[in-house]
Structure 1
């Protein structure tokens, strides 16, 4: 069974290779826009679907099994918003134009930052605090989600409010009592779902 942390890392490696291929195309004068579309469209789609899959499957579990899960999750959702915004900026511009490249590089910069933080914090933290069985179960869910959604066409890929996202996940996991105040995420650490 696949481990969700391995699947996420595999996607990260693929993202890096695709952006490197775009570097090559940008360096060549007179690159046909069809080549740019051939590389960018699947990359843009997977960036969006990957973020949605993490938000649906990984981050709710990280909030329960991490050492500083609230801060990591808030930062990750904010990064996802920046990635989505870059993809959307490129999508509003003619392929190969200066504005299109600006959107592509906005997405790349945000994704590079996100991957580094996620690999060194969220994923490492989750491997230390979640059981192998949970990671494999989530890996199956993540893979099924990615297979079912090759593009974000049928998904809501709009920006998320990080605070509202964390609060909603907390309320699903541990509905607040009438006397509970604040996010209280620290109380979720170590719980199994």
Structure 2
């Protein structure tokens, strides 16, 4: 599977899980379970992108749409991953279903929606244009293998954006 297709599939899952939280409002047991799954999925998804997608984009990308460079796209994405994780971590410390919890979940949803939009407009088209299909398939398999091993319970460490770019741009 092409890594771009795998990422787009994950994006659909994220949108579905955020919507499921809204549908489960009032059912605390379901809210907690859906939230845990979403949180783990967001964390393993972000780490998988940081392992397999963004390093290759930094090497081959040129920038697409309203992004001037692959470095700019990557910098924004890593910042977004950190901000989404912070909102989800804050929610995890609160009482599921409380107004404070919903405020943090909504913040994560807003940040995630912004990130998905940017990635689908900038990073993914740039990747399709600059990375050949065979390498996209190889990276897709590695991406899915990582997620398969970590999607049920994974906590990503916050990244320093400048260090990440320096380490992965070579």
Question: How does the TM-score come out when normalised to structure 1?
Answer: 0.82
Residue deviations 1:148-178 (CA, integer Å, cap 9, x gap)? 112344x5x12211111101113xx3xxxxx
Task: Tell me the equivalent position of 2:123.
Answer: 122
Task: Tell me the equivalent position of 2:10.
Answer: 11
Task: Tell me the equivalent position of 1:142.
Answer: 143
**What stretches of structure 1 move > 6 A for 4+ residues in a row?**
none
Task: Tell me the equivalent position of 2:65.
Answer: none
For the structure 1 residues 159 and 141, does the alpha-carbon distance in structure 2 shift closer, same or farther, using more than 3 Å as the test?
same
* Other structure's SS at 1:119 match: helix
Residue deviations 1:19-40 (CA, integer Å, cap 9, x gap)? 11222233xxxx1210101211
| Count of aligned pairs between the two proteins | 164
The partner residue of 1:46 within 22, 41, 46 is 41
Q: Partners in 2 of 1:129 and 1:161 — Cα distance?
A: 26
Contact 1:84 1:158 in 2 (8 A): no
Map 1:75-154 onto structure 2 (within 5 A): 75-153=76-154
Q: Establish whether residue 36 from structure 1 lines up as the match of residue 35 from structure 2.
A: no
Q: CA RMSD in A?
A: 1.2
Larger gyration radius, structure 1 or structure 2 = 1
